[in-house]
Amino acid sequence: MPRTDNRHLSVRAIIVFYREFERVTRDADISIGQYRTLLYLKGGAKRAGEIAAAGAVKKPTISAMLANLRDKGWIADEADPADGRAVSVALTPAGRARIDALEETLADRVSAIVPPAELADLLAALSTAYLALRSSQDDRIRDIENQFIG
């Protein structure tokens, strides 16, 4: 008999939301992976190796993505203050604007799916989950960066 308790239904809902987000970005000028990379850069400039490690992708994959984001004007190269020979990638104002616009579109999609009477509670729960995940993710990313880069 299939499990249908709230925990399992919540997991299924997350997957359905992700699929909806993929549909939104399929017709847009930005992919979920590009969004995730731009969001990571919101925390400050990073080297390509750091971005690859944080995203659990190989450096050639991230290099191609960064070239595309650079062509769109959403990121720019800058000298790494810790090592003048190295280059870091930084989010541009246009990149920040693109993140904001996509998040607004995705939030509108969530609002269109969830009944209005339940929306505020869901948004509060998701915000709490994001902050908790972000904190533990920051720790995991630091561990990965120290292992592979540091």
Plot region of 56 (φ>0 → left; ψ -120 to 50 → alpha; else → beta): left
Report yes or no on 1 lying in a domain.
no
Q: What is the CATH number of the domain that holds 123?
A: 1.10.10.10
The residue segments making up the domain with residue 30 are 6-148
Tell me whether residue 18 is in a domain.
Answer: yes
What's the pLDDT at 63? 87
Domain presence at residue 85: yes
Q: Do the domain assignments include residue 115?
A: yes
pLDDT reading at 147 higher than 60: no
Question: What is the number of structural domains in the chain?
Answer: 1
Query: Residues 70-90: pLDDT tens digits?
Result: 999 999 999 877 777 788 899
Give the whole-angstrom CA distance, residue 54 versus residue 41. Answer: 11
For residue 123, being part of any structural domain is answered with: yes
